[in-house]
Amino acid sequence: MVKGKINNIAVEVDEGVSILDAAKKAQIKIPTLCKHPDLPPGAGCGLCIIRIKGTPKMLRACCTPLEEGMEITTHDPEIVAVRRTVLELILSNHPNDCLQCGRNNNCELQTLVADFGIRQESFQKFLPDVPKDDSTRTIVLDPQKCIRCGRCVKVCQEMQNVWALSFLERGFCTRISPAGDIKLADSPCIRCGQCSNHCPTGSIVELDETARVWELLQDQDKHCVVQIAPAVRVAIGEAFGYPLGTNLTKKLYALLRRLGFKAVFDTNFGADVTIMEEANEFIQRLQKGKGHLPLITSCCPGWVDFMEKFHPDMIDHFSSCKSPHEIVGVLSKTYYAEKNNIDPKKIVVVSIMPCTAKKNEIIRSEEMYASGSQDVDVALTTRELARMIKQAGIDFVNLPDENPDHLLGDYTGAGVIFGATGGVMEAALRTAYFLLNGKNMEKVELNQIRGLDGVKVSEIPINGKRIRVAVAHGLNHVEYVLDQVREAEKNNKEMPFHFIEVMACLGGCVGGGGQPYGVTDELRAKRAAGIYQDDKSSKQRCSHENPFVQQLYKEFLGAPLSEKAEHLLHTHYHARPVYAK
C-alpha cells in the first residue's frame, strides 16, 4: 500500500494504482477521454494532466502510479485552462452534428464540453474528408467523429485479439481504419461491437435498424414476433435509471406487446432447446465417441466468426447446435406457425440482443434460412431497443408486469444464465448430469465456473467420471485454452478438457457489444448477478424440466438430435479467410 495526498485529501491505495483511480477514492473525478477501465492507459487525449509537488511538468494521471508521499493537485486554474484548450482543440477536429449523432446525449466528449461550458469555437475547424464505413451492416465506422483516443484499437487488438482496427497515417492525418485501408467487412472484424461499446464518441456505433422494425410493425400484412436475449433484461434498465443489474423481464414483455408485437417470446426458451441438443451432443461424444472432444460451444456468433477465421482447425470440436435466438427464429416460422395456422411468410422475427454480431449471424449461412425464409429477420441491440422505447413514449418504469406468450416464451433457470460467462456450460452440465444419472444434481449452481476470471478451469464429477471443463471469455483468453488442446492432439495425449465454453465478450453476453455504454467489470458483475438471481428464483432450473420444451419435442421435433432437429436446429462451419480479398 502507498499513501499520498490528492488535493490535500489523504488516500491509500495498492502499489501501482494510477493517480486517476486513486483520485476516485478521494471523491475526485479527473476528466479523460482515452482511458477506459477495461484498458491499459493510452495517454492519447491529454486531459487527465495533474501536478505533482516538486515536479515541474504536468503529468498524466492515467499512467502515473501514485507513489508514497506524493502530493497531487488535480484541479487548479492553470490545469483547468490547459484542459479547456485541449478540449477546444479536439472540437476543432470534430464535427458539430451532435443532434444527428448516434451518441447524442450519451457522448463522453459532449458531456465534457458541456461540463467545461465551452460556448464558442476558438479555433478554425478542420475535418478529415473520410467516408463512413458501414460495410459490415452491423457497426458503422465514422472516422470523421474519431478523436483518436485509441480505445477501439486497443479493444480490437489487445482485448479481442482480432486486429481488425489500427491507426493509419500519422500526425494530423492519423485515422482509424482496418490495416491496408480496406473495408471493415473485408477485414478480420468479427462484428463483436466491443469497439462501439468502448468508443467515447459516435465514431463507431451499431447500425441502427429501428426504422425498419417500426415499418414492419406498421405493416398490417405482417405478423411480428419478438424475443429477448437473457442479457438484455438486466441491462435495459440502465437507460431508465434503474439500479444496475435490475431484472426487467416482465416489464419487457409488457413493453414489447405495447410496441405492437403480436407474440412475445423469450430467447431463454431457445437456450433451453439449445441445451437439450448440446447436452445430448456432448453425451454422444463423451460416451459413444461420435465426434471430437472437447466439445466447444458455438452460441456466440463473434466467437464462431473468430474461430472460422483464426482457428479453423477447431471446427470439428464445435457444437453444431445453432444459437438460441436462431432456434426461436426457426421455431417461430415452423412450429409456432403450424400450431397457430399462420402463413410463415407473414411472420417477422425480431431479436433483441446484447450483441452486434447477431446482426451478422442471421445471414451467416444458408442454414439460417432453415424455415424456408430468413429465420430471424432483424436483430436489434439493447441500445436500439432503449431508443425505441423512448420514441414510443412509453413510461417504461411504471409498466405493469406481464408474462410471455407460451410455446416459445417460458424458460428455466438454465436458459437465463446463458447471458453470463460460464452459463452455457453450467446449463449444459445440469442437463448432461440428468441424462447420465437419471436425476438432477444435488446442487445445480456451479460456482467454480462463474465470475470474471478470463479463463476458468474446473472438474465436475458426473457419474463417477470427472468432466474437465474450461470457460474463456474475451477472445484474448482463447488461445491459452486452445493451445492446450492442440498440444495434446499433437502429442496424442489425453485431452486436457472435455468441454469448453467461449464467449467473445468479457463477462459473456452481459458485457456484449450491443449493451448500454460504460461497461466495467463492476457493471458486468452486477448484470450477471441479476441473471443468477433470476435462475435462483426459477421454479425449474434445468432445461429438460421445461414443460414447453418437452411439449416441443413431443409434438414437433421428436427427440433431440432427431433428423428434424438436425435440420432445423443445427448448422455447419467453414474456414474463412482472415482477409476477404
- Contacts with another protein by CB under 8 A lie at 41-47, 49, 57-58, 60, 62-65, 78, 81-83, 85-86, 89-90, 92-93, 122-124, 126, 147-148, 150, 166-167, 169-174
Pairing verdict, β 49-52 and 58-60 = antiparallel
- 542 burial class (0-12, 13-18, 19+ CB within 10 angstroms)? buried
Closest by CA position to 504, among listed 138, 67, 215, 173:
138
Catalytic one among 48, 189, 299, 542?
299
393 grid coordinates: 413514449
Residues 423, 294: contact at Cβ < 8 Å?
Answer: no
Between residues 90 and 444, which has the closer beta carbon with respect to another protein? Answer: 90
Return d(Cα 131, Cα 116) in angstroms, integer. Answer: 30
Between residues 174 and 562, which has the closer beta carbon with respect to another protein? Answer: 174
Q: At what angle do helices 267-287 and 324-331 cross, to 10 degrees?
A: 110
Between residues 58 and 455, which has the closer beta carbon with respect to another protein? Answer: 58
226 grid coordinates: 419478438
Cell numbers 486436457 correspond to what residue?
Answer: 496
Per the annotation, the verdict on 281 as an active-site residue is: yes
> Residue 34, SS3?
coil
Between residues 47 and 189, which has the closer beta carbon with respect to another protein? Answer: 47
Per the annotation, the verdict on 366 as an active-site residue is: yes
Q: Which residues on neighbouring strands pair with residue 73, listed in sequence order?
A: 51
Return d(Cα 22, Cα 61) in angstroms, integer. Answer: 9
For the beta carbon of residue 77, count every other beta carbon within 10 angstroms: 7
CA 475 to chain centre: 12
Per the annotation, the verdict on 250 as an active-site residue is: no
Between residues 146 and 519, which has the closer beta carbon with respect to another protein? Answer: 146
Return d(Cα 339, Cα 556) in angstroms, integer. Answer: 10
Per the annotation, the verdict on 543 as an active-site residue is: no
Cell numbers 465514431 correspond to what residue?
Answer: 203
Residues 245, 529: contact at Cβ < 8 Å?
Answer: yes
Per the annotation, the verdict on 320 as an active-site residue is: no
Minimum Å gap between C-beta 74 and another protein is: 14
Per the annotation, the verdict on 555 as an active-site residue is: no
Return d(Cα 385, Cα 382) in angstroms, integer. Answer: 5
Per the annotation, the verdict on 319 as an active-site residue is: yes
Per the annotation, the verdict on 566 as an active-site residue is: no
Catalytic one among 187, 203, 298, 319?
319
Q: Which residues are catalytic?
A: 278, 281, 299, 319, 358, 361, 366, 509
